[in-house]
């Protein structure tokens, strides 16, 4: 069952992600992907995550597809202009990639090539519009295509945005531009997320709540300070600080969050950030 | 020096849809030199607006609309005319429009596009910056330019990178431009503008037109 069918079936959907390596050694990444086989409904492949140069998302999505996994091609507007974005979308389609996640992307100076020229020729909303046009058989300026692609397209939203109302307005724009599902920034503050979900429920578009595995109390504090829209409540930080086995505690916290989110949204998107091997244990603990 | 060109009249009139009373501001600086915002153009615009059934509550031509302090002091002398207006039409460059929007608390319509000259012109501008994109979007963004106020020059709203303090995650010293736009539009009662989807910029308009690629004075002479 593909991601689109999984979401349509109204079951509780789980997606996770793998980050391509910096270099050509792909064994570990493919091993991580194998751990997710049969456990998740889709696997995001990040697009030069954190603006760090590495193996590209498109090639890795293709490798996953060949292995019978369900990749979600993350596509940011940071590194490609409108020609390259459209070309890569056509490339993805002929390589059998169906799911696309359209993002604006982190700013270039946050990564390992701060000297780079940031592109942002399109933004997430206009990229969604371009995908729709390609599907209708033309490029973004109306030139006819010899063969049109068909995708299942998602987008992201930050429930902790400031102000959150601006994020909700943009979410609606993304829906009208063609987004069929959403993955969110990491959620730790369940109460705030519940309020957000009440606001966006009328849109009737599936939302997968974001789960980032906490690795330490320090990481939680770092995110609180530096990652926009992420708020880890103090009790969770204390739990990590006191943990004897941090991985075990992290898995417990993630599973607990997933259980709480279960009544609020249609699924979760687990971002392990280096702890890919722990995702099956999280799912076990969450009884998924 | 910033070179400007008047937007098509239909576009200007469309931006004023639903409004009756307009205050017109011209600029005796670059806009006068460009032939887009001096006294003759202001009077011509007044005639056009009246022909369209608008009431021009007043007008004035300020030496430099990019100077917020100057704009503020000149508008003080026209307080009633400005107050009676639904909006201000600013016949000036992108910096001038932003300066007027910042000090007037009024919906400020840009009457001009700022034409790219393709380089620095040895001047210090205030906090308002103009990308000289050739297709001014200030109408849609409460008079704050997203091309210069947002790190990613986004046209469709903030990314997920606005910090708790309302700054840009790229640079903690920098305000999130889209938060400023959001707050401005909220204050102006124009939140519906946030819901519109804006098409990607036409970057060909951001290149200096061939005839303007030499010196600025030459550009001015040729531009008219």
Q: What is the ipTM of this complex?
A: 0.87
pLDDT at B224: 45
pLDDT at B222: 56
| Number of other residues whose CB lies within 10 A of the CB of residue B111 | 30
Beta carbons of B155 and A123 less than 8 Å apart: yes
Q: Residue A106: what are its φ and ψ, rounded to 5°?
A: -65, 155
Q: Where are the alpha helices (DSSP H) in chain A?
A: 3-8, 27-35, 57-66, 82-94, 124-135, 164-177, 190-200, 217-226, 234-242, 246-261, 279-285
Report the interhelical angle of A27-35 vs A57-66 (nearest 10°). Answer: 60
Does some domain include residue A287?
no
Residue of A nearest to B156 (CA): A125
Q: Which residues of B touch A161 (CB under 8 A)?
A: 158, 160, 162
CA nearest A132: which of A178, A75, A85, A171? A178
Q: Residue A159: what are its φ and ψ, rounded to 5°?
A: -65, -15
Among B179, B198, B200, select the one facing A162 at the smallest CB separation: B179
Distance from CA of B177 to the nearest CA of A (A): 12
Beta carbons of B182 and A163 less than 8 Å apart: yes
Q: Which residues of A touch B161 (CB under 8 A)?
A: 106-107, 228
Q: Which residues of A touch B154 (CB under 8 A)?
A: 104, 120, 123
| Number of other residues whose CB lies within 10 A of the CB of residue B55 | 13
Domain span at residue A217? 3-282
Q: Which residues of A touch B150 (CB under 8 A)?
A: none
Q: Which residues of B touch A109 (CB under 8 A)?
A: 170
Residues 6+ apart with CB under 8 A from B27: B37, B38, B61, B62, B63, B64, B65, B66, B90, B91, B92, B93, B96
Q: Which DSSP string corresponds to A113-137?
A: -TTS----SS-HHHHHHHHHHHHTT
Among B163, B191, B197, select the one facing A228 at the smallest CB separation: B163
Pair B199, A126: CB distance under 8 Å: yes
State both tokens at A119.
């592109």
pLDDT at B122: 57
Q: Distance (Å, rounded) from C-alpha A79 to C-alpha A262?
A: 36
Which comes out higher in pLDDT, residue B221 or A270?
A270
pLDDT at B127: 77
A173 in contact with chain B, both atoms CB, cutoff 8 A: yes
pLDDT at B207: 80
Q: Per the omega criterion (within 30 degrees of 0), is the bond before A163 cis? A: yes
Residue A75: DSSP 8-state:
E
Write a three-state SS string for chain B: CCEEEECCHHHHHHHCCCCCEEEEEEECCHHHHHCCCCHHHHHHHHHHHHHCCCEEEEEEEECCCCCHHHHHHHHHCCHHHHHHCCEEEEECCHHHHHHHHHHHCCEEEECEEEECCCCCCCCCCCCCCCCCCCCCCHHHCCCCCHHHHCCCCCCCCCCCCECCCCEECCEEEEECHHHHHHHHHHHHCCCHHHHCCCCCCCHHHHCCCHHHCCCHHHHHHHHC
Residue A206 is part of a domain; what is its CATH number? 3.20.20.220
Which comes out higher in pLDDT, residue A30 or B212?
A30
User: Count of A–B CB contacts within 8 Å?
Assistant: 92
Domain ranges of chain B: 3-141+201-223
Pair A104, B159: CB distance under 8 Å: yes
pLDDT at B216: 57
Beta carbons of A166 and B182 less than 8 Å apart: yes
State both tokens at B62.
């300020």
pLDDT at A235: 96
Beta carbons of B195 and A172 less than 8 Å apart: yes
Low-confidence ranges of chain B (pLDDT < 50): 224
Number of domains in chain A: 1
Q: Which residues of A touch B199 (CB under 8 A)?
A: 126, 129
pLDDT at B126: 67
Residue A213: DSSP 8-state:
-
What long-range pairs does A217-220 form, CB within 8 A, spacing at least 24? Answer: A217/A241, A220/A188
Bridge partners, B167 (sequence order): B175
Task: Name the CATH superfamily housing domain B3-141+201-223.
Answer: Diphthamide synthesis DPH1/DPH2 domain 3 (3.40.50.11860)
Tell me how far CA of residue B145 lies from CA of A167, B25, B93, B184, in angstroms: 19, 19, 12, 12
Residues 6+ apart with CB under 8 A from A108: A51, A78, A79, A114, A116, A117, A118
Q: Distance (Å, rounded) from C-alpha A158 to C-alpha A188?
A: 12
Q: Which residue has the tokens 């890569």?
A: A88
B166 in contact with chain A, both atoms CB, cutoff 8 A: yes
Q: Is B220 exposed, middle or buried (0-12, 13-18, 19+ CB in 10 A)?
A: middle
Task: Report pLDDT digits (tens) over A75-128.
Answer: 999 999 999 999 999 999 999 999 999 999 999 888 999 999 999 999 999 999
Residue A55: DSSP 8-state:
S
A142 in contact with chain B, both atoms CB, cutoff 8 A: no
Per-window interface: B 170-199 vs A, CB < 8 A: 170, 176, 178-179, 182, 191, 194-195, 197-199
State both tokens at A199.
């606001």
Residue A278: DSSP 8-state:
G
Task: Report pLDDT digits (tens) over A179-226.
Answer: 999 999 999 999 999 999 999 999 999 999 999 999 999 999 999 998
Q: Which residues of A touch B164 (CB under 8 A)?
A: 162, 228
Q: Distance (Å, rounded) from C-alpha B144 to C-alpha B182?
A: 10
Distance from CA of B146 to the nearest CA of A (A): 12
State both tokens at A48.
């030069």
Pair A120, B152: CB distance under 8 Å: yes
Q: Which residues of B touch A162 (CB under 8 A)?
A: 162-164, 166, 176, 179
């Amino acid at each position: 069952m593909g991601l689109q069918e999984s979401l349509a079936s109204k079951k509780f959907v789980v997606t996770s992600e793998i980050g391509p390596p910096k270099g050509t050694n792909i064994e570990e990444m493919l091993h991580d992907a194998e751990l997710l086989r049969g456990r998740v409904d889709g696997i995001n492949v990040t697009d030069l995550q954190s603006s760090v140069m590495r193996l590209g998302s498109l090639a890795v999505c293709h490798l996953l597809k060949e292995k019978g996994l369900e990749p979600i091609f993350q596509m940011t507007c940071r590194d490609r202009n409108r020609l390259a974005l459209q070309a890569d979308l056509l490339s993805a389609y002929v390589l059998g990639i169906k799911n696309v996640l359209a993002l604006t992307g982190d700013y270039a100076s946050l990564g390992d090539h701060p000297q780079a020229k940031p592109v942002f020729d399109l933004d997430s909303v206009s990229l969604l519009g371009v995908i729709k046009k390609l599907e209708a058989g033309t490029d973004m300026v109306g030139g006819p295509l010899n063969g049109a692609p068909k995708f299942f397209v998602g987008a992201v939203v930050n429930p902790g945005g400031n102000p959150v109302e601006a994020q909700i307005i943009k979410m609606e724009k993304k829906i009208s531009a063609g987004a069929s599902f959403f993955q969110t920034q990491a959620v730790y503050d369940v109460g705030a997320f519940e309020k957000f979900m009440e606001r966006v429920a009328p849109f009737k578009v599936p939302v997968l709540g974001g789960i980032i595995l906490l690795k330490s109390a320090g990481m939680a504090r770092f995110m609180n300070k530096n990652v926009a829209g992420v708020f880890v409540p103090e009790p969770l930080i204390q739990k990590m600080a006191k943990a004897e086995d941090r991985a075990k505690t992290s898995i417990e916290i993630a599973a607990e969050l997933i259980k709480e989110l279960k009544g609020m949204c249609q699924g979760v998107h687990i971002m392990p950030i280096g702890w890919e091997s722990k995702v099956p244990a999280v799912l076990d603990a969450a009884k998924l | 020096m910033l070179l400007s060109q008047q937007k098509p009249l239909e576009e200007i009139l469309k931006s004023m849809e639903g409004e009756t009373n307009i205050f017109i501001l011209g600029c005796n600086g670059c806009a006068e030199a460009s032939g887009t915002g001096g006294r003759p153009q202001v009077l011509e615009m007044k005639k056009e607006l009246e022909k369209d059934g608008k009431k021009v509550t007043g007008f004035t031509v300020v030496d430099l609309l990019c100077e917020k302090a100057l704009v503020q002091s000149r508008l003080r002398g026209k307080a009633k005319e400005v107050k009676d207006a639904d909006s201000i039409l600013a016949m000036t460059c992108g910096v001038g429009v932003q300066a007027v929007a910042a000090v007037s608390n009024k919906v400020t319509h840009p009457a001009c596009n700022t034409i790219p000259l393709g380089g620095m012109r040895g001047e210090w501008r205030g906090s308002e910056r103009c990308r000289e994109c050739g297709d001014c979007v200030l109408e849609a963004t409460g008079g704050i330019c997203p091309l210069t106020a947002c790190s990613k020059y986004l046209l469709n709203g903030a990314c997920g990178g606005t910090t708790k303090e309302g700054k840009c995650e790229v640079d903690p010293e920098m305000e999130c431009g889209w938060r400023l736009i959001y707050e401005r539009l909220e204050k102006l009662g124009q939140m519906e503008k946030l819901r519109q989807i804006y098409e990607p910029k036409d970057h060909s308009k951001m290149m200096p037109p061939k005839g303007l690629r030499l010196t600025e004075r030459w550009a001015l002479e040729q531009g008219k």
